[in-house]
Amino acid sequence: MVNDICLLDLGNSRFKWRWVGRGGAAGPSHRRPYGGAGSVAELIAALRASGEGRELCVASVRDAEFEAALREHWTAVCDRAPRFLRVPEAGPLRLAYRDPSRFGVDRYLALLGARSQFRAPLIVVDAGTVVTFDALDVHGDHLGGCLFPGLRLLRESLQRGAAGLAGQGAAPVGDVLADSTAGGLAGGVQVGLAGALRAIVAEMRQRMGEAAPTVVVTGGDADVVAAALGGQCVVEPDLVFLGMEAMLALA
C-alpha cells in the first residue's frame, strides 16, 4: 500500500512489522528471526517487499550500533530517516519507575496498547526473550513490574552453566520424569517457567488489592503463558503495534 507507515518492533531475537494506512487500516503482521535476515539490508528488503511506503516507525531494544545502521540504510533507500520511538519524560502513561528512561520502550508501548483496548486494572505480560510483568491500577497508572527469564534464556543458561549439558539439544516437549537428558532439560525448564509465571501473576494480583485485574498476554511465547495460566487471560499478539499506533495518534 503506497504512502503507508511501516511499524517495526525490533526485539532481542526477532523482529516484527506491519504496514498501517493513513486512514487507520492495518495490514497483516509479519515476524522473522534475525538469523533469517542476516543484515540490516536484508531486514529492510523484507519490509519493502511487503509495502511501498517510505515512512518507518521503530520500537527497538537493540543496541545503538544496530539502530544507527538501520537509520543509515533506510534513509539511503527511502530518502527519509526512520523515527525511533522512546519513552517520553511526560507522556500519557504515568510510570512507577524512578527513572522512566530506564523503562523499556517495548514495555511502555505494550502498556499503552493494553490500556487502549482493555479496561483497567490490568496485568500485562510480554513473553519474549525476557518475560516482563507490569500492573496498571484502576486509573490506568503504572504500579510497577518485574522481569523473569524466558524459555530460551532459561534453557541456554542451564547449557552454559553446566558442562555436561553444553552439548545437549533441546527436546520440543519435555517431562519431569524424562528418560533422556534433553527431555529432562526441556521438562524442567517448561514446568519451572509455568510455575514461576503463575506465582508472579498471583503475587501481583494480591499486591494490587483490586477486583480481578484482566491479564493481557503478548509476545512470542504468549501461548506458553496462556497455557501456564490455564487460559485465564487474554492473548493479544499485536499489543506493541497497538501502542505504537496510540503514540503516533498523540503526536
E-assigned strand segments in the chain: 5-10, 14-20, 30-33, 55-60, 83-84, 122-127, 130-136, 142-149, 214-218, 234-235
106 is annotated as an active-site residue: yes
Helix (H, G, I), strand (E, B) or coil at 43: helix
d(CA 134, CA 144): 6
- For 32, phi then psi, to 5°, come to -155, 140
Is-contact 24 38, C-beta < 8 A? no
Is-contact 119 139, C-beta < 8 A? no
**N-term to C-term CA, the chain:** 23
Instruction: Report which of 141, 138, 148, 238 is spatially closest to residue 201, judged by C-alpha positions.
Output: 148
Peptide bond into 149 cis (omega under 30): no
Write down the catalytic residue from 4, 9, 106, 238: 106
Cell numbers of 43, please? Answer: 531486514
Is-contact 239 113, C-beta < 8 A? yes
Catalytic annotation, residues: 106
